[in-house]
Structure 1
Amino acid sequence: MSIFSIGLSGIRAAQAGLYTTSNNISNVGTPGYNREILQLSENKAQGVQVDGMQRQFNQLVANRLNAASGSLESLDTYFTQLQQIDNVLADERSGLNVVMEKFFASLSQVAGNPADSAAREGAMGSAKVLTAQFRSFDSYLSDIGASVDRQLAFEVNSVNTLTEQVAALNKEILMAKATVDGAPNSLLNQRDQLVHELSQKVDIRVNQQDSGSYSIALSDGSQLVAGDLASQLKVVTDKADPSQVSIVHTDITGAEKPLAESVFNRGAVAGLLEFRSDSLSKLENQVGQMVVAFTAAFNELHSTGVDLNRQPGQAMFSAGQTVTYPHADNQSATTATTTISDASAVLATDYQVRQTASGLQVTRLDTGKVVAANYDAATSTLAFNGLEVTFDGALAEGDSFKLKPLAEQAANFELLLSDGDQIAASESGASGDNRIALALTQLQSEPLVQGNRSLSQAYGAIINGVGNQMNIVQANKAAQQGLTEQLQGLQQSESGVNLDEEAANLIRYQQYYQANAKVIETGTTLLDTILSLR
């Protein structure tokens, strides 16, 4: 090889180095960019050979960062949703404790002067405000639930868009590898950035095939991307509970598979599902539990009294109805009806009732624990925890029902009486008799909820529960933020662009270029000298 060839190989290497360095500098702020390093080797003859630009990418660190980012996104989403509930509980104007205290205070006015029409109308007005506030609070929770469903649909659509883009890049990368020398670094960076964004939506497992394609699956193995093919997720009406949505996986053949919430352990989807099941549903049930316990106790005591017209006390309040959903895949057409037999024993939870080979099984959905229940074959009635479930036919093995005894109680909390004279303050009907009014007032401090808490204590437990949950999620979020930042630092130390280092490389490759140009210039001078000797 001549001195010209050697110098030319050096110039080409210097040009490649300047290209690599300038590309790193120009992409210093590009999300997902991994810095490149020029790979050189000695030419088999003489001179230098450019082997390509190596992408500084560590798959292990990327996987760890993706997992940490997904967990952080899940906690952040959960915390954002939880703040909505905390804000309304902290607002005295929309809180329930104040209206309950005002209602019982108005009953004290009636007890102080049972014949006073103004006091009676004041109690009726407070009762209207009480029921309206509970309905308003329940409506707010329902709006949050509807918003969660909409956000789930948005996140699922985002997942589908990202998986389609990854599948398309898989195809482009394979084509590029077949037509160009070396790995298509730009395409690889784009694909890894998409995978990072996908990991912030759902919990995924990434496997690189021998061909270089990415295979991506959910935590249960449901395939999202295989080569240049992408499967789809879809939000559908839940088969067990048509009042909410669930997520199904649709494979490339069109077959659908329902996905359990446990499949989504990380990402925004996980945060939304966890908030809905662990916080929102629990709060709806707790508020419904208060309404049921109060309504039953108040109406029972009120019915023992006599109103101002000397008529027996009527039911003053009405709550909503229990809800029982048969699973959409039940084999039999049997329906079930749930009634509340003991309001003080009802727990703030939903249930699943399932027909097994050994009989009916009741499971609490908040804890997953099986509940002891008594079945009366003569009446086809199942009794447990203050509830009775009656079936209108024979069940097939595997049939199941979702019981929501409290979810709609506050939504339909109503005042039944229209006249203050209908308040049964007296036990005997005699003038000045206020015994029932006094007893109704004392219900404020009675352990009506689950037989061990007053209404104020039950509401206080709700506030404390949400506050504790906020603290726990916030603490976990801070810890996860620290871990994520550490992994980001590790990833940047390997893959990030250091401008100081690149500036030094620019000078080095510039001098390298100039030195090789000098080699060619020297060769030219020598050649001219030799030719002049002739």
Structure 2
Amino acid sequence: MSDMLKIGTSGVLAQRAMLQTTSNNISNVNTEGYSRQRTIIRTNVLDQGAGFNTTSRILNTYAERELLRDNARVGYYTAKTEAITTIDSMLSSDATGLNPVISDLFASIQGANSAPTELSSRNSLMGNLEVFTNRVNSIGNNIQEQYLTNNRKIEESVTRVNDLLQSIYKFNSQIVEASTDTSSAAYLQMQDQRDHLITELSEIIDIKTVEQPNGSCYVNMASGSTLVLGDGCATLMVEPSSLDETEYHLGLTYNADNGYTLLSDDVGGKLGGYFDAGDELRETQRNLGKVAVALADSLNKQNKSGITLENKAGDALFNLPETRVFTRSATCGMTMSFMEGYASNVTGKDYLIKINNDGTYTLNEKNGSELTEIFQGNVDDLNGTITIPDLGFQVEVSGVPAAGDEFLIQPTANVSYNLSLKINRPEDFALASVIRGSEDSQNLGNATISIDGVTNTDALSAFSMTPSDSINGAVFATGAPVRVVINAAGNYEVYDASDNIIGTTLASTKGGNILANMLSDVNDPDSLVFGDAGTYPGFDFSITGTVRNGDSFVIELNTNGFADNSNGILMQNLEQAQLVQGRINQTVSAAYSDMVSDLGSTISVSNVNLEAATAKRDQTLTITEESSGVDLNEEASNLVRYQQCYQACARIISVSQTVFDSLLSALG
């Protein structure tokens, strides 16, 4: 009878354990992070009845690991898309974008050209110029604010990662301590809580896990760096660059006193998405600055090449800001400014000047952490103003640089929100040309002279004019071209005011760009008189029509010619000019459209990838839930089955008692 009692008792205890596990599963059906448990009864190899039972979690290890990767992908594309979608919407909208404003600006220039002496049309131009400036500022400020917000999200993500790493390590320690009873509720609950934290961590950075025999779990970054070990955990650090305080770097340390190891920003998850979104935002900011500089500088240059309504030399329309160069130097400072007239050479890149130990310096194009050397020079040359026309800017050096010094130049990163208007009166639009041409009334041919445009009025030109100087006080420089005569060969001979011949333009040019094509020796096509007519004399003209021997044409200052609109026409033509630097130079509108298109394409690709990553994660999540999730129907069925087993085992105990009583009665 004792065997039946023992068998029944072991069965009751075993079924009670099964019922407890099933009840626990049902109770936690909606508990986040809970993994379904099961109790396994071992065979009693020494005696009859049920053996020992063990309770464990049901996990699909492959699916769990795949879910970590899927979480990281979804987190990455979600963070990246959210950070740049708002900016894309702003750039592409007619109400907040730049292209409609650019179109309105050039339409108002055209309107002013149709009535150059009327203040009403000039006022309209003034208003559109202000709208353009304000719109550039607004877009630039919004991008910068989004960039700084993105940086704050990076900081918050790093803080959360560190909290999770600490919590995972603590749970690991507690799990190891409780590993003497792996079936206990506390042990299983701690594993669930730890794994839930690991799942949350996988959304922020891409990680891999390694299960240990003692129940703990090591956590590594997908790139290889270890985050959680048995004896401690790492700490992530995010710090601004020593040159650009808005550019963040990610590091890892196991002991803050020993410094940290610099990590790649490509860490996956939300954190990686925020870093990549920051790169996109900064690139957009640079490209916007490139567009703004190209248009502002070109309009400045052209307005300074004309005459205002008050008969004065024009001035710049915009203030292009001088920019402080970020420096890592105790002995030297540097500022950057744009070179007037070289806007088409301005790129959307950053540059780094490094002072070497051998007395040289290198100018490098900076693309993230990658540097591409552009040229090398002697440190002794780094004094005063250093012009870099090929890149469209110049730097002003103060002090003496030392070996190891670095200077970060960001030409276009901050232009958009610092651009401002210099002009403040509609009378100051210089729509009239500084010079005009005329034909001699005795000419036998019907040819006419037209000014192709004034490109320079500064000290290097044929007429040195300071902004606001009156045209009435201006004179041509000695030796400047002022008269053209057609010779017997049909060539165009150019003379100065002292009737000295300066050079000859061949008849084969058909009178196009006389000064740019003028030769000192008609037999030598390489003997150009002016290497750069755009700088000196700073203007050019063409003669069209039939010319005859002896015909002459005169170039003179456009005194009292403020009703002229020829310089305004050149301003208007800037709308179709390829001003913006690129693989192929583009118009301002086309460059802006490409910038918006590139950002939109990035978002579109990111959205497609997000959709695919989400579908993949949902599929993996379904697999994990099928194994680890609680199925109420299955648990209810088990509950009934285990209850029946429990009752049957209890019946064995009852029967054994009845049999025992019967035996006692029989023995009397």
- How high is the TM-score relative to the length of structure 1? 0.92
Matches within 5 A, 1:198-213: 198-213=201-216
- Secondary structure of 2:365's counterpart equals strand
Q: Which residues in structure 2 correspond to 1:71-470 (within 5 Å)?
A: 71-178=73-180, 184-219=187-222, 221-227=224-230, 229-257=232-260, 259-262=262-265, 264-277=266-279, 279-327=280-328, 333-341=331-339, 342-355=342-355, 360=362, 362-365=364-367, 368=370, 370-373=372-375, 375=377, 379-380=381-382, 383=388, 385-388=391-394, 392-397=399-404, 399-427=405-433, 428=558, 429-450=560-581, 452-470=585-603
The answer for the alignment partner of 1:505 in structure 2 is 638
Amino acid at match of 2:309: L
Equivalent residues of 1:247, 1:259 under 8 A apart: yes
Letter in 1 for 2:348: A
- SS for the counterpart of 1:215 is strand
Native 8 Å contact 1:306 1:312 kept in 2: yes
1:521 to 621, 644, 654: 654
CA distance in 1, matches of 2:562, 2:311: 10
- Deviation string 1:410-452 (CA, Å, 9 cap, x unpaired) is 1111111111111111112414211011111111111110171
> Residue by residue, what CA displacement relative to the aligned partner does 1:58-102 show, whole Å, maximum 9, x if unpaired?
333322211111111110111111211122123222111111111
Give, as a single letter, the amino acid of the residue that structure 2 aligns with 1:84: T
1:462 is aligned with what amino acid? M
Rounded Cα–Cα distance in structure 2 between residues aligned with 1:471 and 1:166: 36
Instruction: Give the distance between the partners of 2:91 and 2:143, measured in 1 at CA.
Output: 11
1:54 alignment partner in structure 2: 56
Report how far residue 374 of structure 1 moved. 5.0
Q: 1:228 offset after TM fit, Å? A: 6.1
Separation in structure 2 between the aligned mates of residue 118 and residue 37 of structure 1, nearest angstrom: 86
Give 1:355 deviation, angstroms.
4.7
Structure 1 residue 454: Cα displacement = 0.7
Q: Which deviates further from its counterpart, 63-72 or 314-323?
A: 314-323
Cα drift, residue 182 of structure 1? 5.7
In structure 2, runs of 5+ residues without a counterpart are 434-557
* 1:474 equivalent in alignment to 2:619: no
* Larger relative helix fraction: 1
Closer/same/farther in 2, CA of residues 350 and 175 from structure 1, 3 Å limit: same
Taking structure 1 as reference, are residues 41 and 476 closer, same or farther at Cα in structure 2, changes over 3 Å only? same
List per-residue Cα deviations over 1:259-292 (Å, max 9, x = no partner).
3343x43111111110001x10111001100111
- Cα distance in 1 for partners of 2:218, 2:424 equals 66
Once the two structures are TM-superposed, the CA of residue 192 in structure 1 deviates from its matched residue by 0.6
Q: Which has the higher contact order (CA 8 A, sep 6+)?
A: 1
CA distance in 2, matches of 1:88, 1:516: 73
User: How many Å separate the matches in 2 of 1:153 and 1:437?
Assistant: 51
Partners of 2:646 and 2:277 in 1: how far apart? 60
- Contact preservation (8 Å) 2:14, 2:53: no
Pair 376,265 (structure 1): closer, same or farther in 2 beyond 3 Å: same
Q: Is the 8 A contact 2:56 2:182 kept in 1?
A: no
Q: Could you say what secondary structure the match of 1:65 adopts?
A: helix
Q: Is the 8 A contact 1:223 1:251 kept in 2?
A: no
SS at match of 2:561: coil
Aligned-pair CA distance for 1:339: 4.0
Task: Name the stretch that deviates more: 99-108 or 373-382.
Answer: 373-382
Instruction: Give, in angstroms, the shift of residue 237 of structure 1.
Output: 2.8
Instruction: Quote the Cα distance in structure 2 between the aligned partners of 1:528 and 1:312.
Output: 127
SS of residue in 2 equivalent to 1:81: helix
> What secondary structure, in the 3-state scheme, does the structure 1 residue paired with 2:306 have?
coil
Deviations 1:227-261 (A, max 9, x none): 36343333333223113443333424533325334
**Aligned-partner SS, 1:417:** coil
Counting matched residue pairs gives 528
2:19–2:643 CA contact under 8 A, matched in 1: yes
Post-superposition CA distance 1:367-410 (Å, at most 9, x none): 9462433536552358463345566534425x433321101111
Q: Would you say the 8 A contact 2:68–2:202 is kept in 1?
A: yes
Q: Residues of 1 paired with 2:137 and 2:662: CA distance?
A: 102
Tell me the secondary structure at the aligned position of residue 417 of structure 2: helix
Match for 1:286: what amino acid? N
Separation in structure 2 between the aligned mates of residue 431 and residue 160 of structure 1, nearest angstrom: 69
If you compute each CA radius of gyration, which structure gives the higher value, 1 or 2?
A: 2
Give the aligned residue type for 1:236.
E
Mapped to 2, the partners of 1:53 and 1:237 lie a distance apart of 50
1:375–1:382 contact (8 Å) kept in structure 2: no
2:623 corresponds to 1:490: yes
Alpha-carbon distance in 1 for matches of 2:137, 2:333: 28
> Which moves more between the two structures, 286-295 or 233-242?
233-242
> Which runs of 5 or more structure 1 residues have no equivalent in the other structure?
none
Q: 1:256 to 1:73 in 2, by over 3 A?
A: same
Residues 180/418 of structure 1: CA separation in 2 closer, same or farther (3 Å cut): closer
Identity of aligned residues (%): 27
Q: Distance in 2 between matches of 1:507 and 1:201?
A: 43
Q: Work out the CA distance in 1 between the residues paired with 2:112 and 2:618.
A: 62
Q: Is the 8 A contact 2:238 2:250 kept in 1?
A: yes
In 2, Cα distance between equivalents of 1:377 and 1:422: 43
Q: TM-score when scaled to structure 2? A: 0.74
1:348 aligned counterpart, secondary structure: coil
2: distance between equivalents of 1:210 and 1:393? Answer: 62
Q: Hey, which of these two has a bigger chunk of strand by percent?
A: 2
